[in-house]
Amino acid sequence: MTSPDGITWTSRTAASNNDWWSVTYGNGLFVAVSNNGAPNQVMTSPDGINWTSRTSVANNVKTSVTYGNGLFVAVSWSGANPRIETSPDGINWTGRTAAAGNLWRSVTYGNGLFVAVAEAVVVGVAAANRIMTSPDGITWTLRTAAANNSWVSVTYGNGLFVAVSWAEKGNITNRVMTSPDGITWTSRTAAADNYWSSVTYGNNLFVAMSTADTGTITNRVMTSPDGINWASRTAAADDSWSSVTYANGLFVAVSGNGQVMTSGVFRLTTDTPDAATAKAKADADAQAAASAKAQQDRDTALALGTLAVAIGSVESGLTTLTLAATRKTATSKSAIKNTKPVKKVVKKK
């Protein structure tokens, strides 16, 4: 399904009836990967509407795909090596050898580095191989995770890699880990004792979602401005939120039950799309009215000031005119007073 605004959604036909797990965008192309349907476990689209099947290299459970440095990189949760596949165009794929045969769940790109994280389903698998990194998507190196958790999602933003995980019940102190370089990782305390399933970055904020297996509607979401200090947020619905992303000023989250929730500033709301649109329009209208009123007040004040100046000018002019008239009157009286009477001369006959 696609949406131009994250609110109104339209169903689209996939290239095949697979279980599509992950989608990314790069170099003018959408690329999605699935966990079944070999050999067509990849599909591509230039517009998100019309999709074409592509042939993958291995029949693995593909779980995540990303784009960076001119390359699409996909990782797999299970299956034989290669558990990594790369493509420069999303169409032609090449198998790559993973640093370990782990349950790779998520891959991202940032700061010139691909970073992938893995689950810990196999008992005894140490934290030393839960992360692998690569500068080119081809050669991979194992890294030590901050804790022996099932790391299921990783993102990059504001100079920091952030990963979230599932962990044992009651332990919230290490469900998040961060790294400035993708190599050295530090445990962080989550906002709640939830199974965190996805994390993204946008608008100067890290946002993570959790499933319905743990927690409540009031803490199913958590946010952080720095990836270190996290706060619980209320979800729009009490659902199992599986993935979240950010684009064009909007966070969009999806659930396993077909629900979607969006947030512009991540103040999640239970408003329906129509109600949310109406509210946004009402807010915009109110702001426009306030701006118009403020401009009207400024115009009125300017007009009154101009009028006051004009009145002052008129009063000054009248004063000047009065003084001039007074002087003229005084001058006239003086002239009359100093004028000698004219004697009438009568001639004698």
More confident residue, 95 or 258: 95
The model's pLDDT over 289-306, given as tens digits with 9 standing for 90+, comes to 665 666 666 555 555 554
In the β-sheet with 176-179, what is the strand arrangement from edge to edge?
150-157, 160-166, 176-179, 186-188
Are residues 141 and 113 in contact, defined by beta-carbon separation less than 8 angstroms?
A: no
Q: Lowest-pLDDT range, 123-127, 216-220, 286-290?
A: 123-127
Element (H, E) at 274: helix 273-337
How does 139-159 read in b/e, with b if 16+ C-beta sit within 10 Å?
ebebbebbbbbbbbbbbbbee
More confident residue, 78 or 84: 84
Mean pLDDT of the chain: 80
Q: Using one digit for the tens of pLDDT, what is the confidence trace for 301-344?
A: 555 554 444 445 444 544 443 444 444 444 444 444 444 444 44
In this predicted structure, what is the pLDDT of residue 59? 87
The yes-or-no verdict on residue 182 having pLDDT over 80 is yes
Q: What is the pLDDT of residue 304?
A: 52
How many CB atoms sit inside 10 A of residue 175's CB?
30
What's the pLDDT at 229? 97
The pTM for the full model equals: 0.74
Residue 267 has pLDDT above 60, yes or no: no
pLDDT band per the 50, 70, 90 thresholds, residue 237:
confident
Given a contact cutoff of 8 angstroms between Cβ atoms, the answer to whether 52 and 43 are in contact is: yes
